[in-house]
Structure 1
């Protein structure tokens, strides 16, 4: 029974560390984690455990370890001599935590590494332009593609950019996209041949 409680407390600690470090939850503090999860530990012992788990989680997250890498890493940590190693229960809790949170932590790290806003969405439609009524010399000019790009960072409101493209511009954009795809395909082929 004590092992189950210890595992739950350790899992709670890992979740708390992730909430603070990767999900920007400022309500989670080291003091809160100690009082709620490890009330019987001395502040020094809890501080050491907290720093150890925080460091291990950071190493795992930065390397974006897959299952095999994680198991090798945790095995090496369990074999460490002295007080710096992991117990089997701690390794098991870390493994379960990482399996459930890997994608979310990775997405958080990727979002933080972007300097510029990203494309959140794209909507488009084709309209037929009609005469503006300014004079008899203006005739309808044909179809127009209207593109609306939604740009933004994860923690900010979106900004919208609207573009109007005629048939020639759309053809040029499609040609450029095809050129980019051919370049990517050539790079992929070369890397697969090496």
Structure 2
């Protein structure tokens, strides 16, 4: 019976750590976790357990371990000597937790690593310049222009739209910059 309670407490602790760290639930605190899950444990022992599980969970999440990697990692953790090891019950709890939460933790980490606001969409077309689209002093009406519409937004909000108008030379500069960005990204990806 004690093993069942220990497993439930550890599962609750892992869920609490995930709620706070990966799902940004501000209501979850270390004090709440200790009070609800480990009231008999000293503060020092709880802090050690909490930090250890938080570190292990971070290692698993950052590596986005699949089942095989997780099993090898947990086996290595169980074999550690000198009190730094993990019990089989703890390994089982971690394995069950990761199996059920892997996709959600991964999505959360990806969302946290994105720049906001982000580019959600881009549409463009070539049109003829009209006399109201630019001042009469710049150019005579009737030349081709590129009309770009950028859809920008944060993940939890409605989109905002920015419309740009540029002539052929400006549009070619934009294309050159985008090609340069792509080359730089490719060089980083291929050098890794």
Task: Give the TM-score taking structure 2 as reference length.
Answer: 0.69
Q: Is the 8 A contact 1:64 1:102 kept in 2?
A: yes
The question of 1:164 aligning with 2:173 is answered no
1:88: Cα distance to partner?
A: 1.5
Q: Is the 8 A contact 2:123 2:149 kept in 1?
A: yes
Tell me the number of residue pairs that the alignment of Structure 1 and Structure 2 aligns: 188
Cα gap change, 1:42/1:187 in structure 2, threshold over 3 Å: closer, same or farther?
closer
1:17: Cα distance to partner?
A: 1.0
Secondary structure at 1:93's aligned position in 2?
Answer: helix
Cα gap change, 1:31/1:125 in structure 2, threshold over 3 Å: closer, same or farther?
same
Q: Is the 8 A contact 2:151 2:159 kept in 1?
A: no
Residues 133-170 of structure 1 show CA distances to partners (whole Å, capped at 9, x for unaligned) of: 987x9433346322214166x69997764322446655
Equivalent residue number for residue 78 of structure 1: 78
1:92: Cα distance to partner?
A: 1.4
1:146 to 145, 148, 160: 148
Cα gap change, 1:35/1:120 in structure 2, threshold over 3 Å: closer, same or farther?
farther
Counterparts of residues 90-105 of structure 1 (less than 5 Å): 90-105=90-105
1:182: Cα distance to partner?
A: 8.2
Cα gap change, 1:78/1:123 in structure 2, threshold over 3 Å: closer, same or farther?
same
Cα gap change, 1:46/1:185 in structure 2, threshold over 3 Å: closer, same or farther?
closer
Residues 83-107 of structure 1 show CA distances to partners (whole Å, capped at 9, x for unaligned) of: 3221112111112222333344344
Secondary structure at 2:23's aligned position in 1?
Answer: coil
1:110: Cα distance to partner?
A: 4.7
Equivalent residue number for residue 88 of structure 1: 88
CA RMSD in angstroms comes to 4.0
Equivalent residue number for residue 21 of structure 2: 21
Cα gap change, 1:180/1:83 in structure 2, threshold over 3 Å: closer, same or farther?
closer
Q: How far, CA to CA, are the matches of 1:163 and 1:150 in structure 2?
A: 13
1:54: Cα distance to partner?
A: 1.4
Equivalent residue number for residue 121 of structure 1: 120
1:184: Cα distance to partner?
A: 7.5
Unaligned runs of 5+ in 1: none
Unaligned runs of 5+ in 2: none
Q: Is the 8 A contact 1:22 1:109 kept in 2?
A: yes
Q: Is the 8 A contact 1:117 1:151 kept in 2?
A: yes
- The worse-fitting range, judged by mean Cα deviation, of 179-188 and 162-171 is 179-188
Counterparts of residues 168-183 of structure 1 (less than 5 Å): 170=171
